[in-house]
Amino acid sequence: MRFRTVAAVTGALALSLVTGCAQGAGSSADTVTYWLWDTNQLPAYQACAEDFEKQNPGLDVKISQLGWDDYWTKLTASFIAGTQPDVFTDHIQKFGQFADLKVLEPLDDLGIDDSDYQPGLAASWLGEDGRRYGVPKDWDTVALFYNEKMVKDAGLDAADLNDLAWNPEDGGTFEKAIARLTVDEQGRRGDEPGFDKDNVKVYGLATNGGGDGDGQTTWSHFAASAGWTYTGKERWGTEYRYDDDTFQSMIEWYFGLADKGYMAPFTDYSVSNQANTQVAAGTAATAFDGAWMLSTYDGFEGVDFGTAVTPAGPTGKRATMMNGLADSVSKDARNKAGALKWVKYLASEECQRTVGGYGIVFPATPDGTEAAVAAYEKKGIDVSAFTRPVEDKENFRTFSYPITNYAADVQALMRPAMQDVYGGGRPVSSLDETNDQINLILDQ
């Protein structure tokens, strides 16, 4: 049945091959091709490449940067067309698909030691066969961004937002705060008499869409702080749990915030109007978002932002997805020897400290993270809401994206299912059927 999945991918990408990928991304014996998607990180990796080239005379690194959507379409197409890069930035959400397609080179011989990186990052890139297919690159967590003026006008402060808790029955202090931050067209707040939920001027919480099957910046932190897990195993699980009562009660409460008028409706979300844009425009007071968005929020003019940790859940702990990117080598890399050298350098303290010094992301090594924190501080950006979960395991739970086979199929089924519950009026119990479909695929 793996052939069916590969064939489906091939068919879906046929047009992509004709429209732009077939020109080739190969390298000569003295060139290593490297793809990434984040334009903000490009200068940092160009600096690493320059240093790498000095240390390895005769080897050149050619970096290509593509936008997020184009990146994955063209990367997957390149594997089929034989025009793949030697090295590419890999995402754990895509790892299962690439492992399924068997297009990754094992990296066990690079001597990657888990203890050299932030906890859990290196282990995430082990395949079902126990072999390594990615070396740690950087990490991120999720926190609550908020408009400082709106919070102050509501009579709240940073201490209040960092001490919130939620539950699926009445929403706890988190829902109370979101209601307080919501303002209708007549100036009445969500917790005041006469509040008009159908004519809201400022929502307490921005929408980031339905959250597909992982809910990274939407519902994942709520689910995890209630004790829920995506599958029965930390990695390479074979049975999803979207039919679980704990999960469905959380989803019913979370999407219910929109029904109450406290969270922006599903129709307010689009590619051009994501959560950060809503907060910047003043149509929402807060938004859950990832550490990778720090520079974006800081760049909005006329609005001062703060960040707070995710709310504590029924388990008593706060939770956040801790996503870790990696660098992977294509199995059919044209310059495999050079690619392996480059990947090992990318994971080194040397390159990690260089990247950290740009204050764009948190590199995977502790020293790289420390350099990033210092760089953010120089910019006047407080990143403690993102680093605390990594440092305080007693009060925080960090967890990874679900890592399974048929990851693309899971997302293809869960995205419309979650949208139907959020904006289409379908009951949360409809996720039972979707969960059954997903598990049938995993059982092939």
Closest CA to 283 of 209, 156, 182, 190: 182
- What percent of the chain is predicted at pLDDT more than 90? 88
Give pLDDT, residue 29: 66
pTM: 0.91
- In tens, the pLDDT along 228-269 reads 999 988 889 999 999 999 999 999 999 999 999 999 999 999
Is residue 73 scored above 80 in pLDDT? yes
Residue 193: how many CB atoms within 10 A of its CB?
6
Do 255 and 249 touch, CB atoms closer than 8 A?
no
Is residue 340 scored above 70 in pLDDT? yes
Closest CA to 329 of 51, 40, 110, 38: 110
Q: In CATH, what number does 2-139+324-387 get? A: 3.40.190.10
Pairing of β 142-147 and β 60-65: unpaired
pLDDT band of 20, cuts 50, 70, 90: very low
- In tens, the pLDDT along 364-403 reads 999 999 999 999 999 999 999 999 999 999 999 999 999 9
Q: In CATH, what number does 142-321+406-442 get? A: 3.40.190.10
Is residue 444 scored above 90 in pLDDT? no
Annotated domain spans of the chain: 2-139+324-387, 142-321+406-442
Is residue 24 scored above 60 in pLDDT? no
Widest Cα–Cα separation across the chain: 73
H-only helix segments in 238-363 = 245-259, 275-281, 294-299, 336-346, 349-356
The residue assigned the tokens 């995506």 is 230
What's the chain's average pLDDT?
A: 92
Is residue 441 scored above 90 in pLDDT? yes
- In tens, the pLDDT along 105-162 reads 999 999 999 999 999 999 999 999 999 999 999 999 999 999 999 999 999 999 999 9
Do 118 and 366 touch, CB atoms closer than 8 A?
yes
pLDDT band of 97, cuts 50, 70, 90: confident
Do 370 and 121 touch, CB atoms closer than 8 A?
no
Do 441 and 409 touch, CB atoms closer than 8 A?
yes
Same fold, 2-139+324-387 and 142-321+406-442: yes
- In tens, the pLDDT along 176-214 reads 999 999 999 999 999 999 999 999 999 999 999 998 999
Find the radius of gyration of the CA atoms of the chain.
Answer: 22
